[in-house]
Amino acid sequence: MSWIDICGTEDIPLRGARTLKTALGCVAVFRTAKDEVFAASNTCPHKGGPLSEGIVHGQSVTCPLHNWVFDLNTGQAQGEDGSIATFPVRVEAGRVLIDAAKLLARSAA
């Protein structure tokens, strides 16, 4: 694991998301009502909708294009055959850290 500090929790809107550009494409970093932070692919596997623009509810996000609902813990789409990649993140002293190993790996290879 190699943790990178990407932002403060406050930089992400409550029940909202911001994006992160990576070698694997755009990653969305979500913040729930209870200040939990999740990171997952920003791209809906259905029609490529930007998930960071979706409504964040509970520990889920709804795609803004066609309302696919993803569980942010597993990346699994509810009632659909599809899922998004999720990435390890943790919050320490109000800072959001993401595991860069997985994100940087491919470009290094």
Q: Which residues bind another protein (CB under 8 A)?
A: 4, 6-7, 11-16, 18-23, 26, 29, 33-34, 46-48, 50, 53-60, 62, 64-67, 69, 100, 103-104, 107-108
Smallest gap from Cβ 5 to another protein, in A, equals 9
Residues 6+ apart with CB under 8 A from 32: 15, 38, 56, 58, 59, 72
Smallest gap from Cβ 65 to another protein, in A, equals 8
Reduce the DSSP state of residue 74 to 3 states and report it.
coil
Smallest gap from Cβ 64 to another protein, in A, equals 4
Other beta carbons within 10 angstroms of residue 31's beta carbon come to: 23
Q: Which is nearer to another protein, 65 or 85 (CB)?
A: 65
Q: Which is nearer to another protein, 15 or 88 (CB)?
A: 15
C-alpha of 4 from chain center: 15
> Sign of dihedral through CA atoms 32, 35, 36, 39?
positive
Q: Which is nearer to another protein, 75 or 100 (CB)?
A: 100
Report the largest interatomic distance among the alpha carbons of the chain, rounded to a whole angstrom. 37
Smallest gap from Cβ 80 to another protein, in A, equals 8
